[in-house]
Amino acid sequence: MANLKEIRNRITSVSSTMQITSAMKMVSAAKLKRAQDAVDRMKPYSRKLQEILSSLSSSLDAGDNIYADGREINNVVLVPVVSNRGLCGGFNNYVIKETLRLAKEEYSGKSVKIVPIGKKATDSFSKTDLIGKDTFLPTDVDGIWNDLNYNNSADITAKLMEAYVAGKVDKVVLVYNHSLNVATQIVEKSQLLPIQQTESEVKSTGLDYIFEPSQKEIVEDLMPKTLKVQLYGILLESMAGEHGARMTAMHKATDNASELNKELKLQYNKARQAAITNEILEIVGGAEALNG
């Protein structure tokens, strides 16, 4: 059994850790509220923009939309969205594993490049030959989390669109965490390019519009904005998910530290009681020896 000094040191260490994890939990909770508010403010604009675009593009031929070209898929770009920091459970690992699965299984036999957003993904994929270092792809974008805003996000989307229009990229897929609630995130993938229109969107357009300028010009102007908003919305959602995952992880860590602290205090009291009992026995034994 460990001596009293060792147990006291462990109790002090665990108590210090518990204070740190509890503080990190409160910080993440505050950041989560701000991130969720940003997502809620973004959703109405994104939803309405998508609705307008669907109404306009439903009657256009695929060839009239440069971002909906039905070309053969040879060059695929995967964009995993993770965080720069850890201590958030499996938030980063799940996205990284899903990205690797897509590269090795779903897009096996095709040229796959990865454009990671987040230092954890950059560190992981830098050990492979998948990370995209081509000049036409976005690079070194981890700093976006230091100051996430629409303009920073739009720069990434613009470069991906340029590569797609130039024919250097045939498909762009985003891999990210979607938050079901504060404690639960699930990995999802969203195709950024080429544009996909669902059957429900096609059926929902039955009105006759008068366009000024032409319908094609309006779509060409709205399409880049829609794609940029799509990526920005995913980045905001991923940030909120990161804070939620970290808050949950720190909550569990605090609970575990509290339980360990209780066990150590119980162990300390038992050891202290045993030490006192031994001292009493030694005193009694000494007294008996003197009497004898």
Residues belonging to the active site: 88
User: Which residues, other chains included, contact 44 with Cβ-Cβ below 8 Å and sequence gap of 6+?
Assistant: none
* Cα gap 259→211, rounded to integer Å: 67
DSSP E strand stretches across 81-170: 111-114
Q: Cα–Cα distance between 281 and 11 in angstroms, integer?
A: 28
**CA pair distance 292, 287, nearest whole angstrom:** 9
Burial group, residue 266, by CB count within 10 angstroms (0-12, 13-18, 19+): exposed
Distance CA 185, CA 178 (A): 5
| Element housing 193 (H / E) | strand 185-193
Q: Is 137 helix (H, G, I), strand (E, B) or coil?
A: coil
Report CA-CA distances (Å) from 91 to 36, 81, 118, 176, 209. 17, 10, 12, 9, 45
Tell me the C-alpha distance between 148 and 205, whole Å. 35
Q: Can you tell me the distance from the alpha carbon of 12 to that of 169, in angstroms, rounded to the nearest whole number?
A: 56
Looking at the DSSP bridge assignments, the partners of residue 191 are: 173
